[in-house]
Structure 1
Amino acid sequence: MSKTIAFIGLGIMGLPMAKNLVGAGFTVRGYNRSPEKAAELAKAGGQAAGTIAEAVDGADVIITMVPDSPDVEDVLTGEDGILAHAEAGAYWIDNSTIRPDVAKSLSDQAAEKGLKPLDAPVSGGEAGAINGALSIMVGGAQADFDAVADVFDAVGKTIVLVGPSGSGQTVKAANQLIVAGNIELLAEAVVFLEAYGVETTSALQVLGGGLAGSKVLEQKGQKMLDRSFDPGFRLALHHKDMGIVTAAAREAGVAIPLGSAVAQLVASTVQQGNGGLDHSGLFTVVEQLSGKK
């Protein structure tokens, strides 16, 4: 019997994920603060819900994909939220990227109300969401993880249980640290290559075939060459994520000197009004520092 899934948050990542769940044969009811996104899901074979209460009514699985810790807390604990309307025994999968301590606290609250929580942030950007090829790092109980394996399989390719509640968000913080550092170094390399008049498309092709190759180079290199920064993952969100990383590192007593420097460069880019750009738009501040813009 097919699961009924409530999907809350139909943004750049959430909408294609919800569509993939529809394509996998699940009944999907979607809710978004801007209703046109839910209407788009309905056109793809899902159902549009006008409220969170309507979305979660009778749902076997509830998925949240919203921007930040306060947003997750609001949709979970608000008057019209999940805890007030979901049925006991439902699985709650939070695909948002939030603070690990908040994830643990909200998971505890959900469990007290009879839900089965899994913090499951994703990596792979808009392309990964569209293609159903996301990496998903999951925190929670093994039995709960196993019970919703079919749901994860419909939206992801690399899906790993990394520990108890909160662990998924900790691993995602590490992911965002690595990605930001890679983007910054790729941007510096492109500016360096251009300064010497190198044919940059060919240069990135050969770099991608060696040890310097990465998913970041593969997906973001051409965007930098084209100065095309339409958002697949907005800088404003990566700025938020770098705040999570630096705060968590400080709490753990861990030094991240390079990560902290990149966090400041991301912050500078956002403060210059470029938070709506793709995170490869970090390139713009490297250009500026080099006097090339």
Structure 2
Amino acid sequence: MGSHMARRLAQAGYSVAAWNRTAEKAQRLSQYGVRFASTPENAASEADIVICMLSSDAACQEVLPAILDTLTPNSLLLVMSSISVAAARKQAQDAQARGIRYLDAPVSGGEAGARDGKLAIMAGGNAATFEDALPVFQILGRPTLVGEAGSGSLAKLANQMIVAGTIALIAEAFTLAKEGGVHLDRLREALNGGFADSPILEGQGLRMIEQNFTPGGPAKYQIKDSGAALSLAQSMHLTLPISETVDHLFRRMVEAGDGELDHSAVIREIQRENGLPISPPHPKA
């Protein structure tokens, strides 16, 4: 996703430098005029705006201290990674202490959304900072300011709860329908336009039918998000029974060895728990 985002910004006329833990991924962006940076500090050294698009709290923590020490006051730091609410709030405090403007702005839309500039961007932070970041955000997708720092990460957790629950229910519905003799491609067509229709039914539903589990969103990241949501809920003395069930389902899937597969492969766990033949992974890889 980060590669597509860097490409779009460069093609829009921004001077872009890219660093990646896998150097080759950043080097490939040179064809779009993106400068290869050998270190995070090198990427941030002349930047007015830094975008952090990494996989977790831990990954962000590895690079952000050096970036904060490199950026000049009044620079913009846009953390678009999916991270915990606590991590986002701590990052905002660290940035403010150095006079750096900060937004946590995780995204939804997957690789296709990043490629086409159609990401849903959920931003948390100061309204004036959000306005200054809009020209960049609008190249990448549709931005919405949802609250103060940390609110973007909380909105992303809500998004992931809905996504995971919907995928799990589609997997159950498809399993029931198939065992009852319904053709799944026709079921998906029949549901099109009704209340059960959604981008998840269209995309992940098709993956289930085709048994194409090449990862877009690996299941191992799903439990990172569901675990974070449940931990936050516990700290707020809330019970989320549906999300707890979905989290357990995805954890059993990962424990069974399917963590690197797309989250739509949760249908394999439904099949496994019912003693049904398991769909083979990666038939199109």
TM-score range, shorter chain: over 0.9
Match for residue 260 of structure 1 among 229, 244, 252: 244
Q: Secondary structure of 2:51's partner?
A: strand
Instruction: Confirm or deny that 1:199 pairs with 2:183.
Output: yes
Tell me the residue number matched to 1:25: 13
Tell me the residue number matched to 1:4: none
The letter for the 2-side match of 1:178 is I
The letter for the 1-side match of 2:67 is I
Q: CA deviation at 1:71?
A: 1.4
In the alignment, the residues of structure 2 paired with residue 246 and residue 84 of structure 1 have an alpha-carbon distance, to the nearest angstrom, of: 33
In the alignment, the residues of structure 1 paired with residue 202 and residue 33 of structure 2 have an alpha-carbon distance, to the nearest angstrom, of: 33
In the alignment, the residues of structure 1 paired with residue 31 and residue 217 of structure 2 have an alpha-carbon distance, to the nearest angstrom, of: 24
Q: CA deviation at 1:287?
A: 1.1
In the alignment, the residues of structure 2 paired with residue 110 and residue 18 of structure 1 have an alpha-carbon distance, to the nearest angstrom, of: 23
Instruction: Confirm or deny that 1:218 pairs with 2:206.
Output: no
Match for residue 83 of structure 2 among 87, 95, 98: 98
Tell me the residue number matched to 1:85: 70
Q: Secondary structure of 2:231's partner?
A: helix
Q: CA deviation at 1:60?
A: 0.9
| 1:176–1:242 Cα contact (<8 Å) kept | yes
In the alignment, the residues of structure 2 paired with residue 247 and residue 14 of structure 1 have an alpha-carbon distance, to the nearest angstrom, of: 28
In the alignment, the residues of structure 1 paired with residue 188 and residue 260 of structure 2 have an alpha-carbon distance, to the nearest angstrom, of: 26
Q: Secondary structure of 2:16's partner?
A: strand
In the alignment, the residues of structure 1 paired with residue 97 and residue 62 of structure 2 have an alpha-carbon distance, to the nearest angstrom, of: 17
In the alignment, the residues of structure 1 paired with residue 27 and residue 260 of structure 2 have an alpha-carbon distance, to the nearest angstrom, of: 24
The letter for the 2-side match of 1:131 is D
**Equivalent residues in 2 for 1:60-139, closer than 5 Å:** 60-77=48-65, 81-139=66-124
Runs of 4+, deviation exceeding 4 Å? none
1:145-202 Cα deviation digits (max 9, x unpaired): 000111001111x311000000000111111011000000000111111112212112
Q: CA deviation at 1:44?
A: 2.3
In the alignment, the residues of structure 2 paired with residue 264 and residue 69 of structure 1 have an alpha-carbon distance, to the nearest angstrom, of: 22
Q: Secondary structure of 2:50's partner?
A: strand
The letter for the 2-side match of 1:230 is T
| 1:97–1:169 Cα contact (<8 Å) kept | yes
1:228-275 Cα deviation digits (max 9, x unpaired): 111111111111111111101111111110100100111111112211
In the alignment, the residues of structure 2 paired with residue 175 and residue 244 of structure 1 have an alpha-carbon distance, to the nearest angstrom, of: 12
Percent identity reads: 37
Tell me the residue number matched to 2:138: 153
| 1:249–1:256 Cα contact (<8 Å) kept | yes
| 1:103–1:165 Cα contact (<8 Å) kept | yes
Match for residue 25 of structure 2 among 12, 37, 42: 37
Let me know the Cα RMSD of the aligned residues. 1.0
The letter for the 2-side match of 1:108 is Q
Segment drifting more, 114-123 vs 266-275? 266-275
| 1:181–1:262 Cα contact (<8 Å) kept | yes
In the alignment, the residues of structure 1 paired with residue 8 and residue 266 of structure 2 have an alpha-carbon distance, to the nearest angstrom, of: 30
Tell me the residue number matched to 1:279: 263
**Equivalent residues in 2 for 1:172-251, closer than 5 Å:** 172-251=156-235
The letter for the 2-side match of 1:215 is P
In the alignment, the residues of structure 2 paired with residue 193 and residue 22 of structure 1 have an alpha-carbon distance, to the nearest angstrom, of: 47
The letter for the 2-side match of 1:130 is R
Q: Secondary structure of 2:217's partner?
A: coil
Unaligned runs of 5+ in 1: 1-12
Q: CA deviation at 1:14?
A: 1.0
Unaligned runs of 5+ in 2: 278-285
In the alignment, the residues of structure 2 paired with residue 95 and residue 208 of structure 1 have an alpha-carbon distance, to the nearest angstrom, of: 32
Q: CA deviation at 1:279?
A: 1.0
Match for residue 47 of structure 2 among 59, 70, 76: 59
Q: Secondary structure of 2:267's partner?
A: helix
TM-score (norm 1): 0.92
| 1:60–1:90 Cα contact (<8 Å) kept | yes
Match for residue 166 of structure 1 among 150, 165, 187: 150
